[in-house]
Every structure is written in C-alpha cells, then in structure tokens.
C-alpha cells in the first residue's frame, strides 16, 4: 500500500530537454490528380437531362396559347382557318383567319364525330401528323448497353493499373521529406541539453559549411544514435535538426521497412539512400531503429530473415562501395542493448548521445515552456513544482501541466492555481482517486496503521528520502499511499537501500504490533523489498557472504542470445547462498522495523488517529507528531533510534 519508488541503478549524470508547441508537420494542399475535375460529372449529367427535356421546356411551335374551350368557340365564330393535330399527344397548332398562330391541347378521343361535323360546317382545314421522333432518346436507347460495357472495361483497367502500381511501388521508401524552407522546431525551442545540442549542431554545421571541416581534414560521423528513456525528447531533437539543417531531411520509422513480402525491407533501404543522394547533402532520421537493428541470429529459428536482410542492406549502404558523402544518419532508440554490434562500430553510428531524464533546472525550464501559453495563478511556483517532480521526463511534465489545466476547468476557475498542480501531480504519480471504493471501519483503521508505519520509519531513518504526504484515500490500485520525494542523486549507498527495505517492511510490522496478525495489504511492499534485496546481492555486490560478484538477469532469446547457451551462470550452492542472503537481509530489516515501531508506539497511534480524522496529512505534520510523542514519552523510553 506504500508508494515507494523502485531503486534505480546508478545512472550516469545527464540533462533533459523539451520544447514548446509544435507547428503542424505539413500543409493541407495536395497535388491534384491528372483526371477530370470533381464537378465535371454533375455538369455532364445536367446537360444530358436538359437535352432530353428540351422539347418539353422549349416548344417547337410559336403562337398564342388557347384553352380547348376557347379553341372550340373560335371555330364556332369562324375565326379558325386551319389546324394540325399531332397523333398521340393531341397537341394542336393552327392558324386563325387573321393570320395569327395559336396552340392548344385537345382532350382524349379527339376528334369526336360531333367535332368533325363542326369543323366541316365552318370550313376549317384539319390535318393530322405523326409525332416527331427524338433522335437523342433513340440514340441513347441504342448506345446505352455499349456505353455500360465500355465504362465497365475502363473501370477494370484503372483498377488493375492501380493494383499494379501498388505492387510495383511496394519496395519504395516511405520516408517523409522535409524541405529546408519549411517551418519546424529549432534548437531555440528546446529547454536544456546544451551538450546534446553542441554535438548535433556540429553535424548541422558540417552539412551547411562542409569546407570549414575539410580544410583541416576533419570528418563528421556518419551516424549519431540518440539513446534515452521514453519521453525525453529524442524524436523532438530530430525535428529540431530538420528545422536547423537547411538541407534535405528524410524521416522514417523502423517499422516502415518491414512488410509481408520478402526483400521489401532491403529494397526500401536502397530507395531511401537513393533519395538522400539525389538531395546532395541530407539527413536521414530513423526513429525506433531497434525494430530493424536487433542482433542478428536472434530467435529460435535463426532469427527473422527479412529483418536481418534489411539490417545487412543498411550496413552496406552506410559504408559500402557506393559513397554516401554528405549524408548523415540520425537514429533514436531506448533499447541500445539489443542493437547489433556491427551497427554501433566506428564508421557507422560513431556516437551515442545520451538523452537522460531532466534534472531540476531542466524540469523548471520545461515547465515554463509548457505553461507559457496558459493562464497561471499568482500562487503557482514553478521552482517548487520542479523540485517536487524528480524522475519525470519531458513528456510527463507536459502531461502534468495539461492535467493541472483540466483540474482548473473542473473547479470552474479561470486560471490554474497551486491546488490544481498538486491534484495533477497526485493523479499522475499516485493514480486517480477511487471515489466509489468505500472501506469499512476495520479496513480503514488497518490502512491507517499500515501507512503510519511507513511514515514513521521514513521520518526516523537517517538515509530515507524526505516524506511528502500520507493518505488513506484509495488511489489507483492502492488503499493508501505513503509518498516520499527522492532527492536527486546518481549513486546509492548500501545504507540507503537497507533503509528502503526497512520502510517497505514498516506497514507489515505496524500491523503485527497493533493487531498481532497480518493481512494481504503488504503484498506490494514485500515484492518491492525482495526486488531491492535481490539486486543488492546479485548485481551490486552488497552482500559480505556472496562478495564482489554480480549476476544479471537472464537475457531473453529474442534479444540476440542463442537458445542453447541460456542457463544459470552459477552453481546450485551459489544459488542457495544467494537465496539465504536475500532472506536474511529481509528478516533483518523486518526485525529492525519492529524494533523501531515498538519503541515509537505512541507516535504510531498519533499518526494513525490523525489519518483516521483527516485522511491525508503532509510530511511536516507527521514529523511534528513523531517528535511530539518523543517529548511526551517517559524518561526511561529511548528518544532516538540507532
């Protein structure tokens, strides 16, 4: 139930970086195809419909439009000289006595016998004609089957050409090209990492001014490998190089080379370098190069042949017979241990640039970069926040600022305040609070005693990290959390790890002292303590019985080790000695935790009661409760811990 961070191995010192908001990677304009415009088909359909309805919309005969009743009246008044009837449509067009023309439409069954007699009586000339055929409709009716067949054949042809084009282009590189005048990230947008900037700026200067280096015979490395944990900004450095270089920049990921077809990866590598050579001077950036650069011969069946062929082609392109002068390869990975040794030798990736987690100054700069476009309250102190976020990467800090903004919106505030950063940090580090989980009174008291044991040992032990906060509110997967803020350091002593194990045993020891029994709440604590003890004995040489020997964990087969050579590196007697040392170390620290908490039982009760009353207390209040209980203790009670 405690939130004790796992002990990191002694890392090399380094600095971190991050940059601000990025412009979009590309515009919205795309090259138009060579086909017809999109509006051509609707226009052609409209013209066709207009031609079909032309006869109805535009009458072929001119004249006054009369109703049928007016037409009969005109005949009876001897005003109609003659007219013509179109069979089928009963359309009538005629001429009056005065020479004017007229049109009308007769009723069905025209003309009746009475109407014929009427026309004969008034000497009206009656003519009949067949309806004029519409040549357009007739031709469409004849040509429609042929047009459908031709359209189907054209569609099939284009579809076949498209599929053939995809097959023919499957071996082409999928690298994205960035032009020199395209706005992008620059080194000015990156906080920290002065040493990394200097090494990469050297490559950029060589591509811009190669004669400056050639005058004294200097040769710039062909490849530079950015190595670091996820979220530290390796890919962002590549974007900055693209903005600073002023030369062609090709970006591709390691997975873009792999395909289901044999030989595609090697073909894409060749095409990638051909594109770079056409640019003259160029930078190739390969993100996540470990996906294709793993050790050859890995796996059960001799490895993935397609991946190995891709790697072989890349090695040949980097220093093969064809010169690649003016081409620099920049790659990024967070797993340099699984890369093939041939890829890392001089002449290929000459330099490995470590991009570690940011330290205090870098974290402060990163927080300022990500908060410059946000409305901050007057009580927000970025220096305090940077000191309270050790071990966070640039991506974690960006997420922290965004979470603080989200908390401010939920509160209905118009600016981000300190409480929002506190809540955001708790959510990011400890997990979201589980409001729906309700503990019983017994469970709540057991949790308070458990977390109180962790907190008191954190305050009393000399090598422990400073205590920040203790809570019995369920967060993430834990029912309660004791949160310490590790001090920034790069080496760790044996005493520090022993205190870490003792603190991990504090919750279990407190429950044993108060309740006399144990429960399952200490599972995570035991797992963490065992992991620390195992590494102390097996890797860091901190056991007198085992001595200065180290055995790392078994490497997996897919990391490049042969299956037949896998096995334990030590004998059964040594394994038994290691197990005994780990068990003895854990038992010693459990006894130590029991001894300390037994001497400070009054402080344990005080901290537990404060947790039951307020649910969350900070480290300073825990220290006051512990020292207050020491001052009020009887004279015979020890006031300190050895």
Beta bridge partners of 230: none
Close Cβ partners of 567 (under 8 Å, ≥ 6 residues apart): none
- Can you give the pLDDT at residue 245? 73
- For residues 54 and 529, what is the distance between their CA atoms, to the nearest angstrom? 91
- Apex 256 CA angle, 250 and 257, nearest 5: 100
Closest CA to 536 of 573, 486, 495: 495
CATH of 61-129, one of 3.30.720.210, 1.10.645.10, 3.20.20.80, 3.20.20.140: 3.30.720.210
Contact between 1 and 522 under an 8 Å Cβ cutoff? The reply is yes
Distance CA 266, CA 305 (A): 11
- Sheet strand arrangement including 616-618: 481-484, 467-471, 616-618
Q: Which residues of 487-516 are buried (b: 16+ CB within 10 A; e: fewer)?
A: eeeeebeeebbbbbbbbbbbbbbbbbbbee
What does the alpha-carbon distance between residue 42 and residue 17 come to, in Å, rounded to a whole number?
55
Residue spans of beta strands (DSSP E) within 574-638: 616-618
Q: 481-484 and 467-471 as β-strands: parallel, antiparallel, unpaired?
A: antiparallel
Fold for 176-354, please state it: Rossmann fold (3.40.50)
- Cα–Cα distance between 252 and 272 in angstroms, integer? 9
Q: Which residues pair with 96 in a beta bridge?
A: 80
Q: Extract the residue ranges of the chain whose pLDDT is less than 50.
A: 1-35, 57-59, 163-169, 171, 181, 183, 300-303, 321, 554-566, 635-642
Q: Which residues, 6+ apart, have CB-to-CB distance to 604 below 8 Å?
A: 449, 452, 453, 456, 510, 513, 514, 597
Query: What is the CATH architecture assignment of 441-631?
Result: Up-down Bundle (1.20)
Structure-block tokens of residue 429: 């580090």
Q: Is the dihedral of CA 209, 214, 217, 223 positive or negative?
A: positive
**pLDDT for the residue 83:** 82
Q: Provide the 3-class DSSP secondary structure of residue 311.
A: helix
- What is the per-residue pLDDT for 16? 38
β-sheet bridge partners, residue 128: 85
3 state DSSP class of 497 = helix
In angstroms, the CA 309 to CA 296 distance is: 9
pLDDT at 632: 57
Contact 184, 243 (CB under 8 A): yes
Token pair 């090695």: residue = 315
Residue 638, token pair as written in the block? 């020890």
Q: What is the 3-state secondary structure (H, E, C) of 335-380?
A: CHHHECHHHHCCCCEEEEEECCCCCHHHHHHHHHHHHCCCCECCCC
User: Which of 399, 363, 54 lies closest to 191, judged by CA?
Assistant: 363
Q: Quote the pLDDT of residue 213.
A: 77
Residue 283, SS3?
strand
Q: What three-state secondary structure class fits 479?
A: coil
The residue assigned the tokens 């062929």 is 309
- Which residue in the list 288, 403, 451, 511 is annotated as catalytic? 451
| Whole-angstrom Cα Rg for the chain | 43
DSSP 321-332: SS--TTEEEEEE
* CATH number of the domain located at residue range(s) 360-430 in this protein: 1.10.8.60
**Residue 185 Cα to chain centre, angstroms:** 18
- Judge whether 290 and 337 are in contact, CB under 8 Å: no
Length of the chain, in residues: 642
What distance in Å separates the CA atoms of residue 360 and residue 344, rounded to the nearest whole number? 32
Residue 357, both tokens: 């987690």
- In the chain, the N- to C-terminal Cα span, in Å, equals 26
- Residue reference for tokens 């979201």: 432
DSSP-assigned letters across all residues of 53-71: THHHHS-SS-SEE--HHHH
Give the pLDDT confidence score for residue 85 in this predicted structure: 80
Q: What is the pLDDT of residue 101?
A: 83
Tell me whether residue 308 is one of the annotated catalytic residues: no
Domain extents in the chain: 61-129, 176-354, 360-430, 441-631
Tokens of 441: 């009174």
**What is the phi/psi pair of residue 320, to 5°?**
-85, -160
Q: What pLDDT is recorded for position 234? A: 83
In 10 A of CB 171, how many CB atoms? Answer: 17
């Amino acid at each position: 139930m405690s939130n004790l961070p796992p002990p990191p191995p002694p890392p090399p010192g380094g600095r971190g970086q991050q940059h601000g908001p990025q412009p979009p990677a590309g515009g919205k304009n795309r090259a138009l195809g060579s086909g017809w415009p999109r509006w051509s088909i609707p226009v052609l359909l409209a013209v066709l419909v207009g031609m079909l309805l032309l006869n109805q919309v535009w009458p072929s005969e001119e004249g006054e439009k009369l109703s049928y009743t007016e037409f009969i009246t005109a005949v009876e008044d001897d005003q109609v000289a003659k007219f013509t009837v179109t069979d089928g449509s009963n359309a009538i067009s005629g001429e009056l006595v005065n020479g004017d023309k007229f049109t009308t439409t007769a009723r069905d069954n025209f003309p009746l016998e009475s109407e014929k007699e009427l026309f004969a009586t008034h000497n009206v000339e009656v003519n009949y004609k067949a309806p004029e055929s519409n040549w357009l409709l007739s031709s469409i009716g004849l040509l429609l089957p042929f047009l459908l067949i031709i359209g189907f054949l054209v569609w099939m042809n284009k579809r076949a050409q498209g599929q053939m084009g995809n097959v023919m282009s499957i071996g082409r590189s999928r690298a994205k090209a960035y032009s020199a005048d395209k706005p992008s990230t620059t080194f000015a947008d990156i906080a920290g990492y002065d040493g990394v900037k200097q090494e990469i700026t050297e490559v950029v200067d060589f591509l811009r001014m190669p004669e400056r280096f050639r005058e004294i015979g200097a040769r710039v490395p062909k490849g530079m490998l950015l190595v670091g944990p996820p979220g530290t900004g390796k890919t962002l450095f590549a974007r900055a190089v693209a903005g600073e270089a002023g030369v062609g920049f090709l970006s591709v990921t390691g997975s873009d080379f792999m395909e289901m077809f044999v030989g595609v990866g090697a073909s894409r590598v060749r095409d990638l370098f051909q594109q770079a050579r056409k640019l003259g001077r160029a930078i190739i950036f390969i993100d996540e190069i470990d996906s294709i650069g793993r050790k050859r011969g890995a796996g059960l069946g001799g490895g993935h042949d397609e991946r190995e062929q891709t790697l072989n082609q890349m090695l040949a392109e980097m220093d093969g017979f064809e010169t690649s002068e003016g081409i620099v390869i920049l790659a990024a990975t967070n797993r340099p241990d699984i890369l093939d040794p041939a890829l890392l030798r001089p002449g290929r990736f000459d330099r490995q640039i470590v991009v570690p987690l940011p330290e205090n100054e870098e974290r402060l700069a990163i927080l300022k970069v990500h908060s410059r476009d946000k409305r901050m309250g007057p009580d927000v102190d970025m220096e305090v926040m940077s000191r309270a976020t050790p071990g966070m990467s640039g991506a974690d800090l960006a997420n922290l600022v965004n979470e603080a903004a989200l908390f401010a919106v939920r509160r209905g505030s118009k600016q981000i305040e300190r409480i929002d950063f506190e809540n955001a940090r708790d959510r990011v580090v400890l997990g979201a609070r589980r409001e729906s989980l309700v503990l019983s009174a017994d469970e709540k008291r057991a949790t308070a005693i458990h977390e109180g044991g962790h907190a008191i040992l954190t305050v009393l032990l000399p090598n422990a990290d400073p205590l920040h906060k203790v809570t019995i509110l369920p967060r993430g997967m834990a029912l309660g959390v004791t949160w310490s803020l590790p001090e920034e350091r790069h080496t760790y002593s044996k005493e520090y790890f022993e205190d870490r194990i003792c603190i991990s045993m504090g919750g279990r020891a407190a429950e044993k002292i108060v309740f006399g029994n144990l429960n399952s709440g200490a599972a995570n604590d035991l797992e963490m303590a065992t992991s620390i003890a195992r590494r102390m004995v097996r890797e860091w040489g901190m056991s007198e019985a085992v001595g200065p020997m180290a055995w790392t964990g078994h490497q997996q087969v897919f990391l490049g080790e042969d299956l037949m050579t896998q096995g334990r590196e030590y004998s059964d007697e040594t394994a038994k000695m290691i197990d005994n040392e780990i068990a003895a170390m854990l038992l010693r620290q459990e006894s130590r935790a029991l001894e300390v908490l037994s001497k400070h039982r009054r402080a344990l009760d005080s901290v537990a009661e404060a947790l039951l009353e307020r649910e969350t207390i900070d480290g300073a209040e825990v220290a006051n409760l512990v020292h207050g209980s020491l001052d009020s203790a009887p004279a015979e009670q020890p006031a300190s811990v050895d």
